[in-house]
Amino acid sequence: MMRLLIHGIALWSGFFVMGIELLGGRLLSPNFGSSIYVWGAIITVFMLALSLGYLAGGRWSKDSPSLSRLALLLGLAALTSLPVLPLSGEPLEHLAIAIPDPRFGALTAATLLFFVPTFISGMVSPYCVRLIVDGETTAGHRAGQLYFVSTFGSAAGTLLTSFYLVLWFEVNAILLSLAAISIALSLVGLAAGRKRP
């Protein structure tokens, strides 16, 4: 059950990241447009934040790894995504005036809104690997399974958000729902972690 929950967290984390990334285009477009510059800025920030998160997650997993700490990462990523909503309103308008170049304005905005939650989300996958690897002979197999699940979650988050969710719901409602699911899954992980000896 613990392994199933860890895989579920990895899958959802991938879904969450890509859902937020696609919503980023909607949140930045009123002030910066939806040109290739804006999407280039969003993708750059997400890739950089994820790469640094992978490093940090791998390092943090060396010290007393536990399901509870993994669950805390997922919950923290969700909580740090909540300021995206108030910051994407008037603060982005001021930022667009202060930095009129859409390239650097969008890059600054994407960093302000998305770097922290994406960095924390990046810590999830290597932490999951640390928890499910039970020996050197199975390390590659277990890591491959986990990255398959995580990337499948990312693909599902991309497809469902872009094809369906943005057509059915407001951006704010989608983001709040994604955060709420992350927090709920985090609480399940915390409860399961406390039950383990």
CB atoms within 10 A of CB 105: 23
Hey, which bits of 20-60 come out as E strands? none
Distance in angstroms (rounded) separating the CA atoms of residues 89 and 96: 11
**Rg of the chain taking only CA atoms, in angstroms:** 17
Rounded-to-integer distance, Cα 4 and Cα 195, Å: 16
Distances (CA, A) of 191 to 97, 101, 179, 196: 47, 48, 18, 9
Report which secondary-structure segment, H or E, holds 33.
none
Residue 99 in tokens: 């930095």
Residue 84's pLDDT is: 92
- Check pLDDT > 80 for residue 196: no
Count of domains forming the chain: 1
Q: Which of 46-50, 129-133, 164-168 has the highest mean pLDDT?
A: 46-50
pLDDT of 135 higher than 80: no
Predicted confidence (pLDDT) per residue in 104-132, tens digit? 999 999 999 999 999 999 999 989 888 88
- For residue 56, give the CATH number of its domain: 1.20.1250.20
Residue by residue, DSSP assigns 95-159 as HHHH--SHHHHHHHHHHHHHHHHHHHHHTHHHHHHHHH--SGGGHHHHHHHHHHHHHHHHHHHHH
This prediction has a pTM of 0.90
Distance of CA 36 to the CA centre of its chain: 22
Taking only the tens place, the pLDDT of each residue in 67-88 is 889 999 999 999 999 999 988 8
Domain hosting 15: range is: 2-195
Q: Which pLDDT score, from 0 to 100, does residue 195 have?
A: 67
